[in-house]
Amino acid sequence: MNDEVREVLKALVAQYGQELCTDRQRVEGLLRDYCGQHRREIAVLVSTVREGVAQELRGAPGTSVDSLVFHRLVQKLDYNVGIAEDYARWAVTTWAEALGRHAPAQPAGGRGSSRASSTSPANGSAGGRGSSRASSASPTSGSAGASPSRAPHAGQERTNPKDGAELVWIPGGEFMMGEGNEAHKQRVDGFWMYAKEVTNAQFRTFLQADRQWTRGQIDRKYHDGDYLKHWRGDQPP
């Protein structure tokens, strides 16, 4: 993850105030204006606002985030949105620092702990639905965004557990963008791409799962489609 985005968010919160963490659309618009090339980082930071994690950090007492609270918020992003744990930890840490909080260097349970044995699932109960989902939510089995420590290879395929669609991994790399004097190199991170066009049934599944949409639209804006891609784990440039 690119820490340039973290510094941009800190500056934005310092300029516009901590109330910024409650306005998802404004956060997204500002981040796109200042560092729009880092779409993956923007997507996870916006999801952190949408899921109420940033607001919880703002309301936390003291100047340091309790390690158990930190771990719970990371799991909340993992279970509710499907963000890989490494990315979720980066997003929570970024918002904590932007809001003037000190995040723990290593959350309770640690990077190597098993989710299935965790006693602090996102819904707050030990056992329950949260832990039953743990075994199916790992980055390598289809969460939105593979863990950086387990990078897939070119052409690798997997099934998205959210809607049953087949995904294929497109490796990152550099390409030339623009023409003439405006030609320049552009780097793109690797991403999971849908092997086939999204079906109506898959789109209805997305509508039911994402609270911000209630029905489909024929003329959809770019950002609308971007939210769909992020939710289903398909993040092309």
pLDDT band at 107 (very low <50, low <70, confident <90, very high): very low
* Stretch 196-216: mean pLDDT: 67
- 17 exposure class (CB count in 10 Å sphere: 0-12, 13-18, 19+): exposed
Closest CA to 24 of 49, 43, 41: 49
pLDDT of residue 106: 57
Would you tell me how many other CB atoms lie within 10 Å of the CB of residue 84? 24
Residue 38 has pLDDT above 70, yes or no: yes
Give 157-189 pLDDT, tens digit per residue: 888 777 777 888 887 777 787 788 888 887 777
Share of the chain above pLDDT 90, in %: 0
pLDDT band at 65 (very low <50, low <70, confident <90, very high): confident
pLDDT of residue 176: 81
8-12, 93-97, 163-167, range with the lowest pLDDT: 163-167
* CA gap 12, 107 in Å, rounded: 26
| Mean pLDDT of the residues in the chain | 71
* CA gap 196, 11 in Å, rounded: 40
pLDDT band at 227 (very low <50, low <70, confident <90, very high): low
- Of residues 150 and 127, which shows the higher confidence score? 150
47-56, 62-71, 93-102, 145-154, range with the lowest pLDDT: 145-154
* Stretch 50-62: mean pLDDT: 84
pLDDT of residue 192: 78
* Stretch 34-48: mean pLDDT: 87
Residue 210 has pLDDT above 70, yes or no: no
Beta bridge partners of 159: 166
Residue 35 has pLDDT above 50, yes or no: yes
What DSSP letter does each residue of the chain carry, written as one string?
A: --HHHHHHHHHHHHHH-GGGGG-HHHHHHHHHHHHTT-HHHHHHHHHHHHTTHHHHHHHSSSSB--HHHHHHHHHHHHHHH-B-HHHHHHHHHHHHHHTT-BPPSS-TT-TTS-STT-S--TTS-SSHHHHHHHTT--GGGT-BS--GGG---TT-EEE-TTT--EEEEE--EEEEESSGGG-EEEEE--EEEESSPPPHHHHHHHHHH-TT-SS--SS--HHHHHHHHHHHT----
Residue 237 has pLDDT above 70, yes or no: no
pLDDT of residue 102: 83
Residue pair 98/9 in contact (Cβ under 8 Å)? The answer is yes
Give 76-90 pLDDT, tens digit per residue: 888 777 788 888 889
